[in-house]
Chains A and B, each alone.
Chain A
């Protein structure tokens, strides 16, 4: 081995990530090359220093009080403020999605002049999406499922009116998402439709997160 060792090899050597034959060759080189030996030593010192960094750091003042306020300790309490004021964000999210849904519908219907729209009834699969969008959808699905589970566990803490508002907003959002996916299946290259699809998922996550937070605080 006549060339200098690259950093990846030195890094893998530190982590015991080389096979026996490669390791032997690398160690022989280190024994005869001051430059590589020195770099290996420096990298090793860095790793040693990193492992010796303090395990703890001072916490910000009042952190526990803020955490305590967010803990759901069982039992449901009535809202201290009218639910209409608290669910303002929910209504706003719902309204935004009505607009988004209408936009998708307009795009879809506008692109189809030969018959009635069947957008909401046609389920599009992620296979119709670009890999990047499909990966995003997968992430959204994972997060959404978790939030839905958390919300289901705490739904009892919300008033029936709030629950109904959340469910209405979710239906609107899901319609918008479904329509965007159908439209994308027909026009996979559309940046506008892709943005609408992601915006729909984003709205759903935000809505669920907000509703879960409300349920936790009440």
Chain B
């Protein structure tokens, strides 16, 4: 089994065409068209935010930030990529930026600390026999491993794309991905 050449799952052509037309209208300031874009893509934006943040409140804030940013930067969508793909990337970047902001806040109070993964949620030990489903197990991953797993294995980004988005070296990404898979197998085995 190989994931090589994994492709980010993109919307079907009719949906992409409709979104492109709506996006062009939204670029001209048509809020109703933007609302229709929201109705079309909100579920996917929500899924990305929730899986990356692993926290309902934070995911809600991240999704709102992503949509506001999308509105503000609509002029940068040129139509050479599907609107959904552009929005997807923008959403991931918005979430990653919020992670970086949190790291800065934490660094402010623990400058002398050398714990690189300081913002990771701890993996809480579950009770023996507590079978976790995959979504819940992903939410329990440390943030670094979760981010890479969600982007690679769930959303289908390539290592090189994730490296660009996160600023991590590909070797680090592979290690984080392996760590995520190993931890998930352990959690799902309990």
| Contact A73:B46 (CB < 8 A) given known A15-B174, A67-B38, A132-B111 | no
B4 touches A15 (CB 8 A): yes
Which residues from B are CB-within-8-Å of A49? 134
Which residues from A are CB-within-8-Å of B112? 191
Q: Is B104 an interface residue (CB 8 A)?
A: yes
Interface-forming stretch among A112-120, A165-173, A193-201?
A193-201
Dominant SS among interface residues on chain A: helix
Q: How many residues of A contact B (CB 8 A)?
A: 51
B71 touches A194 (CB 8 A): no
A66 touches B64 (CB 8 A): yes
B159 touches A15 (CB 8 A): yes
The number of inter-chain residue pairs (CB within 8 angstroms) is 134
| Contact A53:B64 (CB < 8 A) given known A71-B71, A140-B104 | no
B174 touches A11 (CB 8 A): yes
B111 touches A59 (CB 8 A): no
- Complexed CA–CA distance, A43 and B185 (Å): 7
B134 touches A53 (CB 8 A): yes
Q: Is B121 an interface residue (CB 8 A)?
A: no
Q: Is B44 an interface residue (CB 8 A)?
A: yes
Which residues from B are CB-within-8-Å of A19? none
Q: Which of B1-55 contact A (CB under 8 A)?
A: 1-6, 9, 29, 31, 34-35, 38-39, 42-44, 46-47, 50
Chain A residue at minimal CB-CB distance from B41: A56
Dominant SS among interface residues on chain B: helix
- Complexed CA–CA distance, A195 and B108 (Å): 6
> Chain A 34-57, CB within 8 Å of chain B: the 1/0 string?
000000001110111111011111
Which residues from B are CB-within-8-Å of A44? 1
Interface residues of chain A, those whose CB is within 8 Å of chain B, are 7-8, 11-12, 14-17, 42-44, 46-51, 53-60, 63-64, 66-68, 70-74, 132-133, 136, 139-140, 143, 150, 191, 194-195, 198-199, 201-202, 205, 216
CB pairs A–B below 8 angstroms (10 shown): A12-B178, A14-B3, A15-B152, A60-B46, A70-B64, A71-B71, A73-B29, A133-B111, A199-B108, A205-B101
Interface residues of chain B, those whose CB is within 8 Å of chain A, are 1-6, 9, 29, 31, 34-35, 38-39, 42-44, 46-47, 50, 60, 63-64, 67-68, 71-72, 97, 100-101, 104-105, 107-108, 111-112, 134-135, 138, 149, 152-154, 156, 159, 174-175, 177-178, 181-182, 184-185, 188
